[in-house]
């Protein structure tokens, strides 16, 4: 994967989102945020070239952020090559949608997710819970789900899609709630609130981490293959594909959590495992997409905490595909955080 810096969005498209000045002078503050509680964070993002104001000299801190706008800001914060419009893999995100390039890039590395009907709904307002999911998944803050108390807010629980992420973000100083001890995860997030969360995420990355070397990345994928094959062998020779050693999905997941994020483990194996009558079974279905050491690959560092390895594979079942393995530094440890496949024949 090669980084290509392209700025092909027209001025009309950009201004419809917000006036973007890559090196805006935050000292000439916007007329509507001079005494705003989030002024410092908003101006910090302006200085970083991540967000801007409008042509009338306002910032409009109370306007809600759309899903496309959130993708653009997170993508710029990560330095992803998303300025060029593309047809994303969501059926409602053609190249004509502002931010399509960033939505595409974030989807490839496992940050942006759509809905069951293959839509992304780019013009919908993003709520506070979903915004937190995107920020945590984008490696702007620690993201594994261990060691944190469960209930910082009375309206947030781990049963909610955003629950774990809100809890993690809160205990890492990224998000906060309201005076009544609520977070209001389903409430649309404003430009001011998003600026605060994103600014804190960026500034939380002060601690340096060891760079992921290409061979380390390959070793993590080889370890994944080895552990998966050994675990499957435990069931493949048994009647009805019943595991001898593992009784629950959680026991199976634990085999991988030292070198893979929980998200990618659950996405990969949850549908391939079945708990029944106190036992665990392997579900017979298509094979797991994995790295093949004998085939050439490309490796790239995206940010200090994010790297990507890609490999082109061909098979009778899937055709010609690009596999995208994303690595994320989580609390000082490099882990596989996403495995994506892009069909190259469509």
Do both 55 and 144 map to the same domain? yes
**What DSSP designation does 53 have?**
-
236, containing H or E segment: helix 214-236
Looking at per-residue pLDDT, the higher value among 127 and 21 belongs to: 127
Of 173, 206, 239, the last residue of a domain is 206
> What token pair was written down for 275?
């708990």
Q: What is the mean predicted confidence (pLDDT) over 202-225?
A: 87
pLDDT at residue 205, as a whole number? 58
pLDDT at 129 over 70: yes
Rounded Cα distance between 63 and 50, Å, is 17
- For 161-180, letters b (16+ CB in 10 Å) and e give ebbbbbbbbbebebbebeee
Do both 220 and 255 map to the same domain? yes
pLDDT band, residue 134 (cuts 50/70/90): very high
Of 183, 206, 229, the last residue of a domain is 206
Residue 26 within any structural domain of the chain: yes
pLDDT at residue 304, as a whole number? 80
Do both 293 and 192 map to the same domain? no
Do both 225 and 306 map to the same domain? yes
Number of domains in the chain: 2
Q: What is the mean predicted confidence (pLDDT) over 161-181?
A: 90
Quote the percentage of the chain above a pLDDT of 90.
62
Other C-beta atoms closer than 10 Å to the C-beta of 159 total 7
pLDDT at residue 145, as a whole number? 66
User: What are the respective helix, strand and coil percentages of the chain, to the nearest 5?
Assistant: 35, 15, 50
- The residues pairing with 273 across neighbouring beta strands, listed in sequence order, are 282
pLDDT at 12 over 80: no
pLDDT band, residue 26 (cuts 50/70/90): very low
pLDDT at 5 over 70: no
Q: Are 61 and 51 in contact (CB under 8 A)?
A: no
Of 206, 222, 249, the last residue of a domain is 206
Q: For residue 256, what are the domain limits?
A: 214-343
Do both 187 and 222 map to the same domain? no
Q: Are 30 and 58 in contact (CB under 8 A)?
A: yes
pLDDT at 285 over 80: yes
Residue 5 within any structural domain of the chain: no
Which CATH number characterizes residue 234's domain? 3.10.450.420
Q: What is the mean predicted confidence (pLDDT) over 248-267?
A: 94
pLDDT at residue 146, as a whole number? 66
Q: What is the mean predicted confidence (pLDDT) over 180-206?
A: 90
pLDDT at 331 over 80: no
Do both 157 and 221 map to the same domain? no
Q: What is the mean predicted confidence (pLDDT) over 249-262?
A: 95
Residue 85 within any structural domain of the chain: yes
Do both 244 and 125 map to the same domain? no
Q: What is the mean predicted confidence (pLDDT) over 240-264?
A: 95
Q: What is the mean predicted confidence (pLDDT) over 176-181?
A: 94
Do both 324 and 219 map to the same domain? yes
Under DSSP, is residue 117 helix (H, G, I), strand (E, B) or coil?
coil
Residue 112 within any structural domain of the chain: yes
Do both 136 and 55 map to the same domain? yes
Do both 186 and 39 map to the same domain? yes
Lowest mean pLDDT of 8-17, 141-150, 297-306, name the range: 8-17
Looking at per-residue pLDDT, the higher value among 268 and 330 belongs to: 268
Mean pLDDT of the chain: 86
Do both 260 and 226 map to the same domain? yes
pLDDT at residue 18, as a whole number? 41
Q: What is the mean predicted confidence (pLDDT) over 155-161?
A: 90
Do both 202 and 328 map to the same domain? no
Looking at per-residue pLDDT, the higher value among 202 and 204 belongs to: 202
């Amino acid at each position: 994967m090669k980084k290509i810096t392209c700025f092909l969005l027209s001025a009309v498209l950009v201004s419809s989102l917000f006036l973007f000045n890559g090196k805006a002078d935050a000292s000439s503050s916007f007329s509507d945020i001079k005494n705003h509680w989030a002024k410092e964070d908003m101006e910090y993002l302006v200085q970083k070239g991540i967000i801007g104001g409008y042509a009338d000299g306002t910032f409009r801190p109370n306007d809600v952020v759309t899903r496309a706008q959130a993708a653009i800001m997170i993508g710029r914060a990560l330095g992803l090559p998303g300025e060029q419009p593309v047809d994303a893999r969501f059926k409602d995100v053609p190249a004509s949608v502002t931010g399509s390039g960033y939505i595409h890039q974030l989807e490839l590395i496992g940050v942006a997710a759509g809905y069951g009907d293959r839509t992304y709904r780019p013009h919908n307002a993003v709520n506070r819970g979903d915004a937190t999911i995107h920020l945590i998944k984008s490696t702007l803050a620690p993201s594994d789900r261990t060691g944190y108390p469960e209930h910082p807010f009375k309206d947030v629980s781990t049963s909610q899609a955003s629950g774990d992420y809100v809890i993690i973000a809160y205990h890492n100083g990224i998000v906060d709630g309201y005076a009544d001890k609520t977070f209001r995860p389903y409430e649309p997030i404003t430009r001011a609130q998003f600026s605060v969360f994103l600014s804190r995420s960026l500034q939380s990355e002060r601690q340096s981490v060891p760079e992921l070397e290409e061979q380390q990345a390959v070793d993590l994928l080889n370890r994944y293959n080895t552990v998966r094959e050994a675990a499957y062998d435990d069931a493949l020779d048994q009647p009805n594909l019943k595991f001898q050693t593992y009784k629950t999905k959680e026991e199976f997941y634990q085999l991988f959590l030292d070198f893979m994020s929980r998200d990618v483990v659950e996405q990969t194996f949850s549908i391939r495992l079945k708990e029944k009558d106190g036992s665990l079974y392997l579900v017979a279905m298509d094979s797991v997409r994995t790295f093949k050491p004998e085939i050439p690959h490309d490796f790239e560092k995206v940010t200090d905490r994010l790297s990507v390895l890609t490999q082109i594979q061909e098979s009778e079942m899937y055709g010609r595909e690009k596999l995208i393995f994303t690595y994320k530094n989580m609390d000082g440890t490099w882990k596989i955080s996403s495995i994506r496949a892009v069909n190259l024949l469509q």
